[in-house]
Every structure is written in structure tokens, then in C-alpha cells.
Chains A and B, each alone.
Chain A
Amino acid sequence: MTAIQLDRVSRWFGNVVAVNDVSMTIGPGVTGLLGPNGAGKSTLIHMMGGFLAPSAGAVTLDGAAVWHDHGVYRRIGLVPEREAMYDFMTGWQFTLANARLHGLPEPAAAATRALDIVEMAFAKDRALDTYSKGMKQRVKMAAALVHDPAVLLLDEPFNGMDPRQRLQLMHLIKRMGTEGRTVLFSSHILEEVEQVASHIEVVVAGRHAASGDFRAIRRLMTDRPHVFLLRSSDDRRLAAALIADASTASVELDGRERALRVQAVDFQRFVHVLPLLAREHGLRLYEVAPSDESLESVFSYLVAS
């Protein structure tokens, strides 16, 4: 059970605080590190990867500090954001060199295996500077996987990838997660994190804003209005009944959608009151759906606050 632990970690560069008192635990499975640009995601990943020392607090892997410990790389695989690699090498030579640098007993076999996982065996004898961006990213993954690490850190892996490459990479990351590895990737694009991560950590302006399943996070924000989409046998009468109740902030009849949009300020009360009111007025409810459960709204609420 490999877990990265951040304990009250802060990092500042002169007067700029990049990471502000962040505590989190990254366990097995796929975790998405989400936040707008400049939120400190790269700084956090660098600290977890042992390339930056925290100004305060501790970053540990299974209890041992990551900083200044080059032995820790036996268990960590890092996929950096920057594109530069040893351009004069071929994909095969690059992966093999990485395998050798890890001191693996059978570097060639490990390299072959890694290239097969990322499906880059077909281009392994071409020089790296002839690769497309997606191919380079996959070879970087192969280099990070060659020593079968328990922890995988990916810094903005989907940057600049086209939809098909993105799908392949998502599939790969999910597979790494189901194999029991601790996978952490950062992104500022909500759809990517939504589709791949089972657990998200939200970082905004250096602060740890939220953590957990995104639906659970949404639930926790009961001080924000929940918006529901209702369809019933008589929307207008339902609207009148709902607005009379304290749990509803606003009702809106959407003629085009032929639905009723309700903003509920008291979630618990609203879900209790809705069926009662419907029965009281003899209305039939055809559809009751939350209309902002996506990560998008979580994000914008968090960022706005």
C-alpha cells in the first residue's frame, strides 16, 4: 500500500507563496490533481517527485522523506511536462537507457515490456525527434514504467494531445490505476480529470480547496443553490407550490425545454418537500434531475469563492 503523504506542506519562492499549507494523502488508484493555471499543481508534483524541497512541512513516501533521497526513484516513475528528451536516440535506445539507469537485471526485457504497454513497439527504431507529440508522451510513459514503479506521477500529461491520443492515454492511466499503482496526474481541464480519476484533489491559488469524489464534494457545498430540472404534468402549478416553500430560491419555466428549473437552497428540505407537494396538488412528476452535477460547476463555484 504505497501512499504519498503531504503534511502541512508549504513552498514559497521569495515573496510568492506557491503552495500554502497543503495536507493530503495520495493512495493507490488514480488521483487527479485539479486546479487552474498557476494554482501550484506543478510545484506540488515536483515536491512529490523529490525535485523541490518544501519550505515547510514534509513530503513522505511510506513514511520516508522524498527529498535528497535518490533511492526513492526505485519506487517512483515520473513523466515530466517538458518535452525535451535525448533527441538523437531512438525510442528503443531511450527506453533501454532508462532501464539501464535503474540498474534493472534485464534491461532489454523490461524495455520491450514497457514499450508494449504503451503500444510504441512499432516506432521504436525511429529517432525521437521524428516522433509526434503523442508518441513522445507515450515513450516518456514507457521510460517511467520500465522499472515497474508503485507510484506514477504525471505532470500535465494531456497537454497538447489530440482526442485520439488523449483517449489512449486515459485508457493507459486507468489501467495503471486498476493494477494497484498510486497514480497522480495534474490537469486544469475538467473533462480529463472527470473521466479518468476516481479521486480528485482540488488546488486553488496554492491552497488545498477540496478532496474526494467530485459528487461528494458537490454534496458538501450545501450553502450553494442546487439546480434541478423537473418535468411534471403541470409545471406552472408545481412552480407556484414550490416557490411558496422556504427551500426554493427561484423557479424558472423553460418553454423550449418544456421543463421547470428550480434553484433549491436547502437540499435536504427540498428533496423531502418535493414529493409531498406533488401529491398534495395532484401532480405527476415525470423527471427530477440535478442539472449541475458536473465537475464544471464544482470548479467554478470553488474558484469563484
Chain B
Amino acid sequence: MPAPERPPPAAAELRPPPAAGVIHDIGYRHHDGPRFGRWYVVRSLAVHSLRGAYGLGRPVRSKVMPALLLAAITFPALIMVVVTVITEADKLPLDYVDYIPVTFYLIAIFLAAQAPQLVSHDLRFRQIPLYFSRPLTYADYVLAKYAAMVAALLVLMCTPLTVLYAGALLAELPFWAQTRGVLQGLAGALLFAVVLGGIGLAIASATPRRGFGVAAIITVILISYTVVSSVEGIALEEDHPEVAMYAELFTPFNLVNSLQLWLFDREENALFATLPTPDGWQGVIFAAVALGLVAASAGFLLLRYRRASAS
């Protein structure tokens, strides 16, 4: 029986020797071309947050509440327009500047519900580091979120104002008076949006739990409003109108309302009929407090996210 005389040929003759480690180019491409700048990043984040505030790009459930509030705040405007047209009145039942203070409950609910929607998700699921590993500083993040909140509130407030304006023009009310009115209304809306948006965002960013943020925001707004209303009622009873007027400083809606009344030189306060409006230098105090609130909110947010970006 023939037995093999030699061992089988060495492995080296069958295969080439293994090479040193090598990484192959399998087609992964870097992007070395032009990129959009930081401004584009901030804008994208703001647009994304704004869309999220109205539930766009989210499941249907998130669209229900903003849609309901938008409808609820526009509905009275529609009614007013219809009434004006039918009765052929020579002015709208409610002035542009007064519309927002009257519907402030709805705006408060929107703020309380949606401000946490903008910031709590990122905090709860620890996504902040993901944001800051991109060319986005913490100041940019705060700017984007603030802008989105202001824009969201503006959409809410300007929709009924637009409806009122369109209706006024349809009812053939004097053009320039109406235009001036609506511009004042829009400017007032901007003031409301900036002050309230800041407060809402600041409170919401203090907690990763969304439900708690909602409760906290509405508590601050409602409690301050009720306390101030009670104090004002009592002060007017006891014939201290000055005290009543300055009490307005302590709750955000009334503060901005008085501020816009001062700015546009109006006498009647829609929130509280017998309350005096600020006059001359008194209004400067209101403006200063409003500015202070905005600065405090922005400062709190910046501090908060600087801490988050550093950790």
C-alpha cells in the first residue's frame, strides 16, 4: 500500500502570506465641500421646534390641542366679524389691541402646554449633548428655542387679528384707522409673545418632566393673576387706584397689557374696566419691568443650557 513519502506541500505554496492590517476604501464619502453656516443650523432648529409646537411632523395626538386652541381663539373673532357685517356697525365690537388680553386664558394654556413640548423632551432623554456636539453653541440653542416659542405664540395671536382685519375691510370700515389698529394689535402681540414666551420657556426648562412643567407654568400665571386681581379689586374699593395700577406689574399678562396700552396711548383697560392705565413716566416703569423679565428669562435659559452643555 503506497504511503505518502513527504508531508503535503507547505501552506505557503498554496496561499500568499497574510498581509499587514489594511483598511479598504468601500466608498464611504466624507463631505469636504461647502457647508451651511451656524445661522442655518439655528434657523433649522427654530423651524423644527416651531413645527413641533403645532404638532406638525408628530402624530395626530399632538396636533389636537394646538388646533383646538387656535380654533377657540379665532372663533370669537369670526363671530365679531359676522356681527359687524350684519349690523353694519361702524367699528368692531372689540379693538385689536384688546383682543389678546380678553382671550389670555387660551394663550396661557397654549404656553403652558407647548413650552414644555419644546424643551422637556431634550432634557428628559438626555439629547442635549447630541445638540452640542454639532456646530451649535448653547446660546444658539436658546436663541432657536426662544425664537420658535415667540413665533408659535405669534401665530396663535395673529390669526384672530388677521381675521378681524379681513372682516373689517370686508365690512368697509375706514381703511387707515383699521390698518393702524391692526398694526398696533400686532405690535402688542409681539410684546406678549416675547415676554410670555421667555417666562414659559424658563420655567419649562427647569424640569425634565413635561407634566410638571405644564403645572408649574400655569400655576405661576394663574396664581399671580388671581392674587393681583383680588388686590386690585380691593384697592379700587378702598379708593387706591395707584396701588391697583402698580399691582399689574406682578403678573405677566397684565403687565404687558398695561405696557401696550401706555405705548398706544389708550385709556380703557379691557381686562379690568375701572383700572387706570399708566401715563407718561409711569409707563417707563412698566417697560423696564417687562424688559427685566425678558432679560431674566433669557439669562436663566442661557445659564441652564450652559450648565447642560458643560456637563
What is the CB-to-nearest-CB distance from A75 to chain B, in angstroms, rounded to a whole number? 35
By a CB distance below 8 angstroms, the chain B residues around A255 are 11, 14-15
Instruction: Write out, one digit per residue, whether chain A residues 235-250 have a CB within 8 A of any chain B CB (1) or not (0).
Output: 1100000000000000
Cβ contact within 8 Å between A256 and B11 = yes
A234 to B1, CA, bound (A): 14
Residue of A nearest to B9 (CB): A255
A235 to B8, CA, bound (A): 9
A256 to B14, CA, bound (A): 9
Q: Is A282 in contact with chain B by the CB < 8 A criterion?
A: yes
Residue of A nearest to B7 (CB): A258
A186 to B29, CA, bound (A): 38
Question: Looking at the complex, which one of B4, B11, B15 makes contact with A234 (CB distance below 8 Å)?
Answer: B4
By a CB distance below 8 angstroms, the chain B residues around A235 are 8
Instruction: Write out, one digit per residue, whether chain B residues 273-307 have a CB within 8 A of any chain A CB (1) or not (0).
Output: 00000000000000000000000000000000000
Q: Tell me the interface secondary structure of chain A in the complex.
A: loop
A255 to B1, CA, bound (A): 26
What is the CB-to-nearest-CB distance from A82 to chain B, in angstroms, rounded to a whole number? 13
What is the CB-to-nearest-CB distance from A114 to chain B, in angstroms, rounded to a whole number? 31
Q: Is A233 in contact with chain B by the CB < 8 A criterion?
A: yes
Residue of B nearest to A235 (CB): B8
By a CB distance below 8 angstroms, the chain A residues around B8 are 234-236, 258
Instruction: Write out, one digit per residue, whether chain B residues 13-57 have a CB within 8 A of any chain A CB (1) or not (0).
Output: 011000000000000000000000000000000000000000000
Report the interface size for chain B: residues with CB under 8 A from the other chain: 6
A235 to B15, CA, bound (A): 17
Residue of A nearest to B1 (CB): A282
What is the CB-to-nearest-CB distance from A283 to chain B, in angstroms, rounded to a whole number? 11
A47 to B252, CA, bound (A): 50
A233 to B2, CA, bound (A): 12
By a CB distance below 8 angstroms, the chain B residues around A258 are 8, 11
Residue of A nearest to B15 (CB): A255
By a CB distance below 8 angstroms, the chain B residues around A253 are 14
What is the CB-to-nearest-CB distance from B7 to chain A, in angstroms, rounded to a whole number? 10
Tell me which of B1, B4, B8 has the highest count of chain A C-beta atoms within 10 A of its own C-beta: B8
By a CB distance below 8 angstroms, the chain B residues around A256 are 11, 15
A256 to B15, CA, bound (A): 8
A282 to B3, CA, bound (A): 9
A172 to B8, CA, bound (A): 51
What is the CB-to-nearest-CB distance from B285 to chain A, in angstroms, rounded to a whole number? 45
Question: Looking at the complex, which one of B4, B14, B15 makes contact with A233 (CB distance below 8 Å)?
Answer: B4
A18 to B11, CA, bound (A): 52
By a CB distance below 8 angstroms, the chain B residues around A236 are 8
A253 to B8, CA, bound (A): 12
A255 to B14, CA, bound (A): 6
Residue of B nearest to A236 (CB): B8
Residue of A nearest to B11 (CB): A255
A282 to B1, CA, bound (A): 8
- Chain B contacts with A in 119-139, Cβ cutoff 8 A: none
A116 to B14, CA, bound (A): 60
By a CB distance below 8 angstroms, the chain A residues around B4 are 233-234
- Chain A contacts with B in 223-282, Cβ cutoff 8 A: 233-236, 253, 255-256, 258, 282
What is the CB-to-nearest-CB distance from B94 to chain A, in angstroms, rounded to a whole number? 45
Q: Chain B interface (Cβ within 8 Å of chain A)? A: 1, 4, 8, 11, 14-15
Q: Chain A interface (Cβ within 8 Å of chain B)? A: 233-236, 253, 255-256, 258, 282
- Beyond the given A235-B8, A256-B15, could you list 10 further A-B residue pairs with CB under 8 A, ordered by the A residue number? A233-B4, A234-B4, A234-B8, A236-B8, A253-B14, A255-B11, A256-B11, A258-B8, A258-B11, A282-B1
Give the top 9 A-B pairs by smallest Cβ distance, nearest first.
A255-B14, A255-B11, A255-B15, A256-B11, A282-B1, A256-B15, A234-B4, A258-B11, A233-B4
Q: Can you list 13 A-B pairs with a CB-CB distance of less than 8 A?
A: A233-B4, A234-B4, A234-B8, A235-B8, A236-B8, A255-B11, A255-B14, A255-B15, A256-B11, A256-B15, A258-B8, A258-B11, A282-B1
